[in-house]
Amino acid sequence: MAFRDLLWVLTLRDLRARYRGHGLGYFWSILNPLLLLVVYTVVFSTILRVGIDDFVLFLACGLLPWTWFSTALSVATGSVRQGAGFVRRIYFPAQVLPLVAVLSQLVHFLVSLPLVLLLAAVLGRVPGAPLMALVPIVLIQTVFTSGLALFVSSLGVRFRDLEHILSNVLLVLFFLAPIIYAPEMVPTGLRWVLRVNPLAVLIGGYQDVLYRRAWPDWMSLGLALTVSVLVFGAGALLFERERRGFAELL
């Protein structure tokens, strides 16, 4: 079976297995981020009063891609260990396992995206032509997340504590991206942190298109693409190096 076909088959298998036996089935892929969105909206717009117009839409533009990113990495970290039965097969390409985690969460993201568009329409913020920019933004995030997934999954076999370390790293990354605050709220001297953070650039791109109804900053996205390709290459090289020792560690 070709690598692409295997990736697709295992992604569908993962999606079916995740919701098998659940009464609401695939609806959970929408309900989970929706509940989180409601809680964050109440806390930050009603209690803390962050002062961002249509905050629920602003938050959705950052929270959904963040959920895709963070959940994919969390699942990918243990994907090789959990797929030990596959990995021990001589001709099985182990790198498909972390990539399945990324694509599975991408499907969840794409299923939730129409709700954001509906919310934007209700609030009078229909994106228009800039909506086409979502395609390159999603592709860049796929490359970036896949590279990191290869990285953490390869190290996750050797270092079992990585899952706990990653959860803390993700917590820091959450606050380093403009998800619950606007970039304008960041002191001028610290905005460079957002500009050099590919995840912050990508989330800013979603917000530009879906919230501000504007084209994203193509130069920043170009830089994010460059970094994403480098991260993917580094992740692939590390995975290939570590893969030789998987059989002994699993």
The yes-or-no verdict on residue 66 having pLDDT over 90 is yes
pLDDT tens track for 109-157: 999 999 999 999 999 998 899 999 999 999 999 999 999 999 999 998 8
- Spatial CA neighbour of 172 closest among 206, 133, 203, 200: 200
Please tell me which of 11-25, 37-51, 108-122, 138-152 the model is most confident about, judged by mean pLDDT. 138-152
- Spatial CA neighbour of 242 closest among 95, 75, 79, 90: 95
Instruction: Confirm if 147 and 32 have CB atoms less than 8 A apart.
Output: no
Q: Distance (Å, rounded) from C-alpha 68 to C-alpha 177? A: 14
DSSP 108-120: HHHHHHHHHHHHH
| Residue 89: predicted pLDDT | 72
Instruction: Confirm if 231 and 147 have CB atoms less than 8 A apart.
Output: yes
The yes-or-no verdict on residue 98 having pLDDT over 90 is yes
| Residue 200: predicted pLDDT | 97
Mapping DSSP to helix (H, G, I), strand (E, B) and coil, where does residue 229 land?
helix
Q: Looking at the 3D structure of the chain, how many domains does it have?
A: 1
Mean pLDDT of 41-65: 87
Which helix (H) or strand (E) element contains residue 29?
A: helix 28-41
Average pLDDT taken over every residue of the chain: 89
Question: Could you list the residue range(s) of the whole structural domain that residue 147 is in?
Answer: 3-249
Q: Distance (Å, rounded) from C-alpha 32 to C-alpha 167? A: 19
- Spatial CA neighbour of 69 closest among 200, 196, 164: 200
pLDDT band at 50 (very low <50, low <70, confident <90, very high): confident
Q: Distance (Å, rounded) from C-alpha 108 to C-alpha 138? A: 13
Mean pLDDT of 76-103: 86
- The percent of residues above 90 in pLDDT, for the chain, comes to 62
Q: Distance (Å, rounded) from C-alpha 157 to C-alpha 162? A: 9
| Residue 215: predicted pLDDT | 97
Q: Distance (Å, rounded) from C-alpha 62 to C-alpha 247? A: 39
Tell me the torsion sign for CA atoms 118, 102, 155, 79.
positive
| pTM above threshold 0.85 | yes
